[in-house]
Structure 1
Amino acid sequence: MANIQVVKDHTIIRNEAFIAKAEQLKPELICTEVHPVHLIDVVSDDSAVHGWRANVLEPADALADKSFGKGDSFILDFGTHLVGYLDHIHIKPVGSPPDAPLHLKITFGEMPIEMAEPFSSYEGWISSSWLQEEVFHIDVLPGVLSLPRRYSFRYVKFEVLAASQKYSVSFDEIVCRTVTSADVSKVTPLEHTDELINKIDEVSIKTLQDCMQLVFEDGPKRDRRLWLGDLRLQALANYETFKNYDLVKRNLYLFAGVPNDKGQITANVFTFADLIADDTYLLDYSIFFVTTLYDYYLESQDLDTLTELWPLALKQIEIALEHLDERHLIRDSNSWYSFIDWNQDLNKQAPTQGVLIYAIRRAIHIAEIVSCDSLGMLKHQLDLTVEAAKEHLWDEVASFFVSGADRQVSWASQIWMVHAEVWDHRKNKELLNRLLEVKPVVGVTTPYLYHHLVEALIVVGETSQAIAQMKAYWGEMIKDGADTFWELYDPSNKSFSPYGNPMINSYCHAWSCTPTYLIRKYNL
């Protein structure tokens, strides 16, 4: 019997059978011991992203010969992005026996800015508790400090806030135990003739690896949650690399385990303790349950899962259809009803219409496979929503799809209408070429939407354009120091953050991992 929970204004109907299936698919984490590589300092550099650059001082082995007193600090560079635990920090006193506790601050950072600027300066709207720092009083020395919390970092800064005048301390061993559910031995080496393509593929895989934990996390630093939009893209990259089908299946059942009383699937779930559905509902993310399930079936041929989860997937289409007006268009709204991209100026009517059409096409394929009675209804709704887009959202003079009462022209609208195949292949190709030529003001702000742009170019046959766009975006990120790809990146405004400060941005983020999928799936 289903359990009922209330989360804010939403009543959640728990499907314990689905949740139990997800629990049975929980992966074993792979642990690796990693040691720091260098001692560094962080210097001001206007040419570096965020204005800070890591400067190598000496090998990390030199740390054992140094001692630190009150006011002293040092920064370690582990050489690459890590997700894991600092569970072996060996500290010993130097000089007289310790006559007062050691007061120690440890700060973790994915980027040099987190080592350079005090977290106390942060004033963004997302909680500062995501900034990774800890303060300890250590009473007994020598000793081993083990930090129970998991961190996402490349750099670690140690600051001695206080000791006594009679002693200092040395750190002769610092070890990180990394964790992931991704088995790198399953990945076939790419060996591309283009070295930048090889590097983009490598960084993409590392990004996915660090986000693959007990679920596909959106970001191991922040938010450390399972989001449906991220899952869809992570799953695609996973199919071309780690091929962990059970982890995708587990995540599908987690979402299916906690729909609300209307049958809608939440945008994200919390999984660290009990499974909890968030109170955020995004129309495009709910719809992506359909496409993620379909993609999973194509790769795994798991008909049992497809059949069992199909009724809930179909429900997401039915809920989305309730958002159509009398013209069969998604109702225009200023509310945050759909995500699409991190752009406050973006009107989401047309791109959400595109997402719905894209999903209905895949729902029709599922209905055919499972012999569903709703097949006729889905085909009828496909005709209605496609014709509505052509009649009401296409501007013949501008030669673009428009969105909302102000008839906004955005990149997102064109990209999603191409994926929806509202026009034929030739006209879609013309549309994307016009998009790249005209460059509408309401542009692309995240790797999430940039992925859809690049894949749209591939689908219409503009492969060289797709590669150029991928290199100009993800390749530029690498030039700016990315060893995992970032949540947000604007090459023309490299300090962009929708949260008020780039310090809180996630610099290993799931929706940025897709170049490996694009490269390998389409043989770029």
Structure 2
Amino acid sequence: MALQKQPASTPNLRILPCQPPIHINLMTLTRSRIYTSLLLTGFIALATQTNAQDIYAAQRQSWLKKAARYKPVLTETIKHPAGMVKLEKDAAAFQGWKMVPAGGVEQFYNTPISQKNTGMIVDFGEHLTGYCTFTLKTLQGDMDAPLRLKLTFGEVPAELATPFDPYPGGLSRAWLQDETVTVSVLPATITIQRRVAFRYVKIEWLGSGGYGLGFTDLQFKAYTSATATPPELSATTSPIIKDIDRVGLATLKECMQTVYEDGPKRDRRLWIGDTYLESLANLYSFKNDGLTKRCLYLLAGLSNEDGILNADVFELPEPHPQKTHLLDYCFLFNVALKEYVAATGDKQTGLDLWPVAKKQLDIAKMYAGADGMMDYVKAGKEWWVFFDWKDGLDKQAPLQGITIYTLNQTYALAKLLGKENEVAEIPAMAKKLKEAAHKNLYDKATGLFVSGPNRQVSYGGQAWMILSGVASKAEAQKALKVLPTFIDAVRPGAPYMYHYYIAALIESGLKAEAKAALIDYWGGMVKKGADAFWEVYDPADEFKSPYNFFPVNSYCHAWSCTPVYFIRKYPEIFQQ
């Protein structure tokens, strides 16, 4: 399989009927302090009321049963170390650190670890998600005291070079993947009970003792629900595009567990925005339609009693929602459902979930003014309006654009399902919002779309004005060509927004520019050593973190996998 190299020995491959039995799901607040603020200030009027009638009462249990029916099996593959490495400072490397070879596997098994020889780092050669098991024995002297061993699992080198404490981050310290084990008698076999996601593991001796120990075995049980082998790219595809596709597939594979996880290291739950992008990439690679269907049914089944979706849900100890009201994610559920039905022809799922998609349109109706402009100020006070990890991004233009886009995509879904009569007012509403957007947000002098009272120009604003059809093709091309020269333009803060920027370039017919932008951004991560694509990537600030501490960032993140979608859906652009 192109997405990962098998170890030299034949792997032990088997299919599991369910998730591994031991799985600690840390239910911490996520995303940013914005969400915490929303919890404190309360939800909007659409939020579930204690005595409200459940409008999905007749369907909810059926949806959850279907979600359970499509829960995928997980493939377990036994992985072994590729060799030993050591950290080396390098100003040119990502975040200032790189790994260099420090010995082979046999050297690792034959080198005693002692009080004086600690801090050994093992490289598994690829990003993996699952459970670690190892066997220890005494190599020197007598075991005169219990052993305390610390294992730190890292996705990128700098994680293992940065002290975790005192912890300055805004998320739970427990997300950081350091585990300490105490062993009284050797030899012993230990399994780390927590699921981890990593490439490198640092092994440190804690305490004291007059003996040396060694590993007789170190193995990792890696899990994913992605089993198909995606087709090879065209022979004419450039090496850098092949590398981007390979890393994108690895990213998607790691996030395809029993739901589309947003990150296998941190959060490890189902978010609508990530699910939409993962499902697009899946359509053109692993083609696990059952996983997409499961996620859509789970999100619907765990919606609020008033019919409005929660942005994310947990699987364990049993499926339940995190009460997170995120406006743009509610809209993207409709888009994800439409894309799924259009690609698979599965109209039954579309019909089952049509009431949910139709209900999300109430959000648009609530904030659409008589003048055709969305009340983004009010929406921003009552919802978490996300769009991007970018401080200072004005949300007026993106909100106007995604609302129009969602109206159009939902009407397209209605046509696929024969439900146009139920949303007959939507085309006129979309047209009104589109005309108002062009009138109020298009700056003819610059050829750019502006947003908010300060007339901010942003990549996100241009992207959503183009994807929604507010801009004509000529206007779209002009805006996107002028945009890089506009000094004050607010650039994307993460791969999530960069996806929509690439989509806008393609929609505008700027094929060469789309290819160049994809190579520049995702290729930049590849050149900096990524074996999975990162949650946050700002070429101008490698230490950027929404959580105030870069090691807690996810360095294998679902919303970053979409080069797979672009490269494979548009071979005439990316494979030539």
| In structure 2, C-alpha distance between the alignment counterparts of 1:175 and 1:189, rounded to whole Å | 32
- Aligned-partner residue type, residue 364 of structure 2: A
| One of 203, 212, 223 as aligned partner of 2:267 | 223
Which residue is 1:352 aligned to?
Answer: 399
Which residue is 1:134 aligned to?
Answer: 179
| In structure 1, C-alpha distance between the alignment counterparts of 2:295 and 2:179, rounded to whole Å | 31
Which residue is 2:31 aligned to?
Answer: none
Q: Does 2:205 align with 1:168?
A: no
| In structure 2, C-alpha distance between the alignment counterparts of 1:458 and 1:303, rounded to whole Å | 28
CA contact (8 A) 2:85 2:121 kept: yes
| One of 75, 82, 89 as aligned partner of 2:128 | 82
Q: Secondary structure at the match of 2:169?
A: coil
1:449 deviates by 0.8
- Aligned-partner residue type, residue 531 of structure 2: D
1:115 deviates by 1.1
Q: Secondary structure at the match of 1:43?
A: strand
Which residue is 1:61 aligned to?
Answer: 106
| In structure 2, C-alpha distance between the alignment counterparts of 1:96 and 1:516, rounded to whole Å | 53
CA contact (8 A) 1:411 1:440 kept: no
| In structure 2, C-alpha distance between the alignment counterparts of 1:370 and 1:332, rounded to whole Å | 31
- Aligned-partner residue type, residue 252 of structure 1: L
Gaps of 5+ in 2: 1-38
1:271 deviates by 1.2
Q: Secondary structure at the match of 2:249?
A: helix
1:164 deviates by 2.1
Q: Does 2:230 align with 1:182?
A: no
Matches within 5 A, 1:398-409: 398-409=446-457
Which residue is 1:505 aligned to?
Answer: 553
Q: Secondary structure at the match of 2:229?
A: helix
| In structure 1, C-alpha distance between the alignment counterparts of 2:268 and 2:234, rounded to whole Å | 29
| One of 477, 493, 510 as aligned partner of 1:462 | 510
Which residue is 1:235 aligned to?
Answer: 279
CA contact (8 A) 2:376 2:399 kept: no
| In structure 1, C-alpha distance between the alignment counterparts of 2:93 and 2:348, rounded to whole Å | 51
Which residue is 1:4 aligned to?
Answer: none
| In structure 2, C-alpha distance between the alignment counterparts of 1:222 and 1:147, rounded to whole Å | 17
Taking structure 1 as the reference length, the TM-score comes to: 0.95
Q: Does 2:435 align with 1:387?
A: yes
| One of 11, 29, 33 as aligned partner of 2:48 | 11
1:380 deviates by 1.6
1:439 deviates by 5.0
Q: Does 2:151 align with 1:106?
A: yes
Q: Secondary structure at the match of 1:27?
A: coil
Matches within 5 A, 1:14-33: 15-33=60-78
| In structure 2, C-alpha distance between the alignment counterparts of 1:140 and 1:323, rounded to whole Å | 66
CA contact (8 A) 2:74 2:258 kept: yes
| In structure 1, C-alpha distance between the alignment counterparts of 2:295 and 2:184, rounded to whole Å | 43
CA contact (8 A) 1:35 1:174 kept: yes
Which residue is 1:3 aligned to?
Answer: none
Q: Does 2:353 align with 1:306?
A: no
1:406 deviates by 2.3
Q: Secondary structure at the match of 1:281?
A: coil
CA contact (8 A) 1:26 1:214 kept: yes
Q: Does 2:405 align with 1:361?
A: no
The one-character-per-residue Cα deviations of 1:108-158 (angstroms, maximum 9, x if unpaired) are 000111111111143121222111011111112101011121111000011
Q: Secondary structure at the match of 1:237?
A: helix
Q: Does 2:371 align with 1:327?
A: yes
CA contact (8 A) 2:281 2:561 kept: yes
CA contact (8 A) 2:456 2:489 kept: no
Which residue is 2:255 aligned to?
Answer: 211
- Aligned-partner residue type, residue 69 of structure 1: S
CA distance 1:84–1:139, change in 2 (3 Å) = same
- Aligned-partner residue type, residue 131 of structure 2: Y
Gaps of 5+ in 1: 1-6
CA contact (8 A) 2:112 2:140 kept: no
- Aligned-partner residue type, residue 80 of structure 1: E
Which residue is 2:568 aligned to?
Answer: 520
- Aligned-partner residue type, residue 376 of structure 1: A
1:188 deviates by 4.1
Q: Does 2:465 align with 1:417?
A: yes
1:186 deviates by 4.6
Which residue is 2:338 aligned to?
Answer: 294
- Aligned-partner residue type, residue 106 of structure 1: L
| In structure 1, C-alpha distance between the alignment counterparts of 2:229 and 2:244, rounded to whole Å | 19
| In structure 2, C-alpha distance between the alignment counterparts of 1:292 and 1:481, rounded to whole Å | 31
CA contact (8 A) 1:332 1:405 kept: no
- Aligned-partner residue type, residue 294 of structure 1: K
Q: Does 2:83 align with 1:51?
A: no
CA contact (8 A) 2:228 2:287 kept: no
Which residue is 2:390 aligned to?
Answer: 343
Which residue is 1:474 aligned to?
Answer: 522
Matches within 5 A, 1:439-450: 439-450=487-498
| One of 425, 435, 440 as aligned partner of 1:377 | 425
C-alpha RMSD over aligned residues: 1.7
CA contact (8 A) 1:192 1:198 kept: no
- Aligned-partner residue type, residue 307 of structure 2: G
- Aligned-partner residue type, residue 409 of structure 2: R
1:363 deviates by 1.1
CA distance 1:506–1:345, change in 2 (3 Å) = same
Which residue is 1:396 aligned to?
Answer: 444
| One of 225, 243, 256 as aligned partner of 1:199 | 243
Which residue is 2:533 aligned to?
Answer: 485
CA contact (8 A) 2:95 2:543 kept: yes
CA distance 1:199–1:324, change in 2 (3 Å) = same
Identity %: 39
Q: Secondary structure at the match of 1:185?
A: coil
- Aligned-partner residue type, residue 46 of structure 1: A
1:424 deviates by 2.1
Q: Does 2:329 align with 1:285?
A: yes
The one-character-per-residue Cα deviations of 1:421-451 (angstroms, maximum 9, x if unpaired) are 1122222222211223325431111111111
The one-character-per-residue Cα deviations of 1:328-368 (angstroms, maximum 9, x if unpaired) are 22213254631111112001121011111111111111222
